[in-house]
Structure 1
């Protein structure tokens, strides 16, 4: 079981590496890692389990965050209508995205960042993601709102990008042109 002590923090070199593609079909070790990523995210959202194991709540986790430089992510998040997007993917890719932008009005956080980093993080308002699930099947997911932001955040981790790399350093709360603010 992954706990907070397994999650590496900003400054660790693995977080800045471009993660390697997972060789498919995935090995048992890679499948187990991906299952544990998903288990952590789900457990972190359960008040009793997260309190018992001292987990910080999260909606996504990428393998580089547990010092495994491979292209694997787990996302477990609901959209504004309560629809659940729960995906554990090998080699996820954004295959298309909108020109329109969006951002979280409250800013983003990260399980690998123990400090508050204020500012708006511009993201694509809509993305289509392809990846391979634990059963070895290709999935294609169309996303908008918070799920789209979560997937972009986790896929950034696979490319050595931290969320605060996107924040305007001079004016962190600069209005993002033609962007949808996603409230939380």
Structure 2
């Protein structure tokens, strides 16, 4: 499995080795040893999540202040543009974002460590999105960063407005968001 740090180096793109033939394919989707070597620390996952969304649904940008979650995300059907925003005030990349195209064809995965907001927009008719988290979902500590904050300037690859939940419509701009030290 190939691991590549993105422009915000703690966010890592994983590209599995895929073995395919006329019958289909096989890939190793997770290997603890390979993963921990790439991220440089021990990581334990405690929860797996699965969402299915239709074209132009944007979920995010979500994070938790306590019970912070690192996320290893991937698409098993469809295509999404996945984004991580650094919310660690002490980081030289605070407020910066990185994005990656995750598709059922490329089978890439993205590691978003604790201290980042995370979101994605569906580019295909629908997408099945899977993610492993390092802590449990905590509604009381969940926060939402505005998906369209001009101070962050995420370049979402869609025309027009995305479809958003009520929660995602009322995300905070970076200057007013509760962040990490």
The two structures have a TM-score, normalised by structure 1, of 0.27
| Structure with more helix by fraction | 1
| Structure with more strand by fraction | 2
The two structures have a TM-score, normalised by structure 2, of 0.27
Relative contact order higher in (CA < 8 Å, ≥ 6 apart): 2
